[in-house]
Amino acid sequence: MLILLPPSEGKTAPSDGEPVDVGSLALPGLNKTRERLLDVLSRLKFPGALKYLDVGPGLLAEAQRNLTLREAPAAPAHEVYTGVLYEHLGLGAFADTDRVLIASALWGFVRPSDRIPAYRLSMGATLPRIPSLPALWRDPLRKAVPDEGLIVDMRSGAYTAAWKPKAATLVGVRAFENGKTISHMVKATRGDVARILLSGDPVETPEDVASAVRAAGHEVELSGSGRSWTVDVLK
């Protein structure tokens, strides 16, 4: 089983530590694209570059971190990524797992233990001479990311457009409250489901995923067939 997580918009900037060593990150086949993006981000001119990053003036200081990412302090990804999903998951307890990859517009994917700096870049950004980050990442990710076995995909939006498994059995996770989806609740539920799956015995099938979540006390509906399945958690 492999769990794909989204990044968080908010990140905790490390206060000290050695800078990122791109060569040490998981999936070294992505390093050429990582280096290209680091170069582009280091040359941005502010405040005009805010339009490329699709953020407002209130995030200027955070966005300007992109200028010095090669020299900035780095920390394990499980410490840098924050937000509702990560609060419910408690990824630090699984820091050394090889069953998790975290999607990133800058790094492609990283492991929880990979050391990275805080950065500001979403997959929907349009950088100079790079109008589409999903398109930029599509081929490198296709070549580098394992596409086999069972993949529980908790990404959304442009991150799924950057890479979609073709051969693996894919399980998506949704959450509903009174028949409606609520973004905050979906993130929390995905964090809970990831924690359940990482804490228990290995799962191999969509039915195993649904059974594990159900055994943890959640009401679950499983739908799908073949290589495409969805686990709906009902509140």
Q: What is the pLDDT of residues 127-154, one digit of tens each?
A: 999 999 999 999 999 999 999 999 999 9
For the entire predicted model, the pTM comes to: 0.96
Amino acid at 127: L
What residues does each domain of the chain span?
2-234
Q: Which residue has the tokens 């969805």?
A: 230
Q: What is the pLDDT of residue 229?
A: 98
108: left (phi over 0), alpha (psi -120 to 50) or beta: left
- Alpha helices per DSSP H over the chain: 31-42, 50-53, 60-63, 77-80, 84-89, 133-144, 158-162, 183-199, 206-215
The candidate with the shortest Cα–Cα distance to 98, out of 107, 110, 108, is: 110
Cα-Cα-Cα-Cα dihedral sign, residues 34, 153, 54, 60:
negative
| Token pair for 139 | 């081929």
Mapping DSSP to helix (H, G, I), strand (E, B) and coil, where does residue 3 land? strand
For residue range 57-80, list pLDDT tens digits in order.
999 999 999 999 999 999 999 999
% residues pLDDT > 90 (the chain): 93
| Token pair for 229 | 């399945």
Q: What are phi and psi of 173, to 5 degrees?
A: -125, 125
% residues pLDDT > 70 (the chain): 100
Q: What is the pLDDT of residue 85?
A: 96
| Token pair for 77 | 């990804």
For residue range 83-135, list pLDDT tens digits in order.
999 999 999 999 999 999 999 999 999 999 999 999 999 999 999 999 999 99
Residue 166 pLDDT greater than 80, yes or no: yes
Residue 182 pLDDT greater than 80, yes or no: no
Angle between helix 133-144 and 31-42 (nearest 10): 150
